[in-house]
């Protein structure tokens, strides 16, 4: 498939989804959200072992939702828009392989929320993060009130959401919102390097690890720990488990499926 608002490239088991509306700072229209969802479906069908989510241009990752669309929404229409945003964020979070947010420039509002749904976030020095919905008279509606505190802690999340604060890349790294900050001209190379490394790992083990990690906040700790035990044990007897351990014993690189 091809889309007007995103591009999808799949190369060597790595899928790259790029929101391609640079003149609008990659703001998320309904069409764009639906295209991202379809792109993720295609990436899964192609058995992508890593996904990169990026924005076109040099000014923004994703500057937020489309305010010109939202301004006159009724409550039922806003509910449908929120459900679409949640569906896309959930598709990122539940994708069977790691998803990396390559954040260049603004990641505000809904753009920040999609980054929060990713497994890993790498930012360049020009990146700016914020849950700025309060300035519009609303609150984060695509998972920000739930995912942000899990990353940065309750106090910091409340400050960001209540005050609509924008923070630079270094501050985002200090509070745990991003895992790595690189120079502006090094972002693509670093993201590609990380994606290739992830794609070389055991896809079966990565999928199991992601499932267990995602369950961490879904209920009591005992439930997550039980899932971890079952999932880990279930990997024994698979090709990748046997190959990984045999390769370790033989002091060679593993050839994972």
Residue 107 lies in a domain: yes
Percent of the chain with pLDDT strictly greater than 70: 100
pLDDT attached to residue 73: 87
Catalytic residue among 93, 113, 125, 174: 113
- pLDDT single digits (tens) 224-244: 778 778 887 788 888 988 898
255 is a domain residue: no
Q: Are residues 185 and 220 in the same domain?
A: no
H or E element in which residue 51 lies: strand 50-55
Residues 80 and 27 in one domain: yes
- Regarding whether 207 and 100 lie in a shared domain, the answer is no
Residue 70 counted as domain residue? yes
Our answer to whether residue 257 is catalytic in this structure is no
Q: What is the CATH number of the domain that holds 161?
A: 3.90.226.10
Same domain, 192 and 67: yes
Tell me the pLDDT band of 2, cut-offs 50, 70 and 90.
Answer: confident
Q: Could you tell me the residue range of the domain that residue 220 belongs to?
A: 203-249
Q: Given this model, what pLDDT does residue 220 score?
A: 74
Q: What is the pLDDT of residue 14?
A: 98
Helix, strand and coil in the chain, % to nearest 5: 55, 20, 30
Same domain? 165 vs 211: no
Of 166, 149, 150, the C-alpha closest to 158 is: 149
Please give the share of the chain, as a percent, with pLDDT higher than 90.
80
pLDDT at 80: 93
Within this chain, do residues 108 and 136 fall inside the same structural domain, yes or no?
Answer: yes
Tell me the per-residue pLDDT of 8-67, one tens digit each, with 9 for 90 and over.
Answer: 999 999 999 999 999 999 999 999 999 999 999 999 999 999 999 999 999 999 999 988
Among residues 34, 42, 77, 133, the one annotated as catalytic is: 133
The arithmetic mean of pLDDT across residues 135-152, rounded, is 93
pLDDT greater than 80 at residue 159? yes
Check whether residue 208 and residue 98 sit in a common domain. no
Kindly state whether residue 69 falls inside one of the protein's structural domains. yes
Alpha helix (H) residue ranges in 54-202: 67-70, 75-94, 110-117, 144-152, 154-163, 169-174, 187-199
pLDDT tens per residue across span 71-111? 898 998 999 999 999 999 999 999 999 999 999 999 999 99
In contact, 121 and 178? CB cutoff 8 Å: yes
Residues sharing a CB contact under 8 Å with residue 101, sequence separation 6 or more, in sequence order: 53, 54, 61, 107, 114, 115, 118, 120, 121, 122
- Establish whether 113 is a catalytic residue: yes
Decide if 174 is inside a domain: yes
100 plus 186 within the same structural domain: yes
pLDDT at 185 over 90: yes
Helices (H) and strands (E) in the chain, counts: 11, 10
Note the Cα 163 to chain centre separation in Å.
24
Q: Are residues 74 and 188 in the same domain?
A: yes
Q: Using CA atoms, how far apart are residues 9 and 52, in angstroms rounded to an integer? A: 10
Same domain, yes or no, for 218 and 158? no
Q: How many domains in the chain?
A: 2
Same domain for 129 and 106: yes
90 and 75 housed in the same domain: yes
pLDDT at 219: 73
Cα–Cα distance between 66 and 51 in angstroms, integer? 24
Q: Give the CATH number for residue 218.
A: 1.10.12
Q: Is 254 inside a domain boundary?
A: no
pLDDT band for position 202 (50/70/90)? Answer: very high
């Amino acid at each position: 498939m091809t889309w007007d608002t995103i591009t999808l490239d799949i190369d060597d088991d790595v899928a790259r989804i790029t929101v391609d509306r640079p003149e609008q700072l990659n703001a998320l229209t309904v069409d764009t959200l639906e295209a991202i969802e379809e792109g993720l479906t295609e990436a899964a069908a192609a058995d992508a072992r890593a996904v990169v989510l990026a924005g076109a241009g040099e000014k923004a990752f994703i500057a937020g939702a489309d305010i010109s669309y939202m301004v006159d929404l009724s409550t039922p229409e806003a509910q449908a828009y929120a459900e679409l945003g949640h569906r896309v964020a959930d598709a990122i979070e539940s994708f069977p392989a790691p998803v990396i947010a390559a954040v260049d420039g603004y990641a505000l509002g809904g753009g920040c929320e999609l980054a929060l749904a990713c497994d890993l976030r790498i930012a360049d020095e020009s990146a700016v993060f914020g849950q700025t919905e309060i300035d519009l008279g609303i609150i984060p509606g695509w998972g920000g009130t739930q995912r942000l505190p899990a990353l940065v802690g309750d106090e910091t999340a409340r400050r960001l959401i209540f005050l609509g604060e924008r923070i630079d890349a270094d501050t985002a790294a200090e509070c745990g919102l991003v895992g790595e900050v690189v120079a502006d001209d090094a972002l693509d190379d670093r993201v590609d390097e990380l994606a290739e490394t992830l794609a070389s790992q055991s896809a079966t083990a990565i999928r199991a690890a992601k499932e267990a990690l995602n369950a961490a906040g879904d209920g009591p700790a005992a439930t997550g720990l039980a899932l971890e035990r079952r999932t880990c044990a279930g990997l024994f007897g698979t090709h990748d488990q046997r190959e990984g351990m045999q390769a370790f014993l033989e002091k060679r690189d593993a050839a994972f499926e």
